[in-house]
């Protein structure tokens, strides 16, 4: 059973990290304060201590906002690509999200079809149709697993 409070908390942390990654792409405002505030907000959550340390270090690498606007922008323009890569790598390392999958239109189409097939399957399971407990449990246990993991389970059960 999923702990809804923990799930909601994890979801919100991931959302804030995703937002942080999107904020860093903005060049034409003072991202320093916004990024600092977002990092502080993330660090208030229950996350790994090492992740907090890494975020704090990354925060300290932001250009200082008390400099003239043009100096700040020039500094941010230079630092942003490296800073962004560090941020993305931290998020991937500690949360396993925000990968740059480089998906093309075909990949998105396949994922969309996969999603719709799973929704259909769930709708069927939640309807009045009869499925044995064993079949229902197998479907629920393997619904979103990668095919390699499903194959491993099949091999292990033989």
Do the domain assignments include residue 137?
Answer: yes
Whole-number Å distance between alpha carbons of 89 and 81? 12
Q: In this structure, are 119 and 143 located in the same domain? A: yes
Whole-number Å distance between alpha carbons of 111 and 145? 14
Q: In this structure, are 23 and 75 located in the same domain? A: yes
Whole-number Å distance between alpha carbons of 13 and 46? 9
Do the domain assignments include residue 100?
Answer: no
pLDDT in tens, 123-153: 888 887 788 888 888 888 888 788 888 888 8
Q: What is the pLDDT of residue 142?
A: 85
Do the domain assignments include residue 73?
Answer: yes
HEC string for 16-66: HHHHHHHHCCCCCCCHHHHHHHHHHHHHCCCCCHHHHHHHHHHHHCCCCCC
pLDDT in tens, 13-57: 999 998 888 876 665 555 567 888 889 999 999 899 999 999 999
pTM exceeding the 0.85 threshold for the entire prediction: no
1: pLDDT strictly greater than 60: no
Which one is predicted more confidently, 83 or 65? 83
pLDDT in tens, 72-121: 888 888 988 999 999 999 999 999 998 888 999 999 999 999 889 988 98
Which one is predicted more confidently, 60 or 126? 60
Q: In this structure, are 113 and 66 located in the same domain? A: no
Q: What is the pLDDT of residue 131?
A: 83
Report the mean per-residue pLDDT for the chain.
84
Q: In this structure, are 81 and 113 located in the same domain? A: no
Q: What is the pLDDT of residue 32?
A: 60
Query: Domain limits at 39?
Result: 4-95
Do the domain assignments include residue 133?
Answer: yes
Q: What is the pLDDT of residue 22?
A: 84
**Structural domains of the chain, count:** 2
Q: In this structure, are 89 and 135 located in the same domain? A: no
């Amino acid at each position: 059973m999923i702990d809804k409070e923990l799930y909601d908390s994890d979801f919100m942390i991931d959302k804030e990290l995703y937002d942080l990654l999107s904020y860093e792409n903005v060049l034409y405002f003072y991202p320093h304060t916004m990024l600092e505030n977002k990092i502080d907000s993330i660090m208030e959550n229950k996350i790994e201590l090492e992740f907090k340390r890494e975020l704090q270090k990354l925060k300290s690498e932001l250009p200082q906002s008390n400099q003239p606007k043009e100096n700040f922008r020039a500094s941010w323009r230079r630092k942003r690509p490296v800073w962004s890569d560090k941020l993305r790598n931290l998020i991937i390392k500690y949360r396993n999200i925000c990968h740059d999958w480089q998906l093309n239109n075909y990949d998105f189409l396949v994922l969309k079809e996969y999603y719709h097939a799973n929704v259909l399957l769930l709708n069927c399971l939640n309807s009045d149709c009869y499925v044995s407990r064993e079949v229902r449990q197998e479907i629920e246990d393997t619904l979103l697993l990668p095919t390699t993991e499903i194959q491993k389970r099949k091999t292990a059960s033989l």
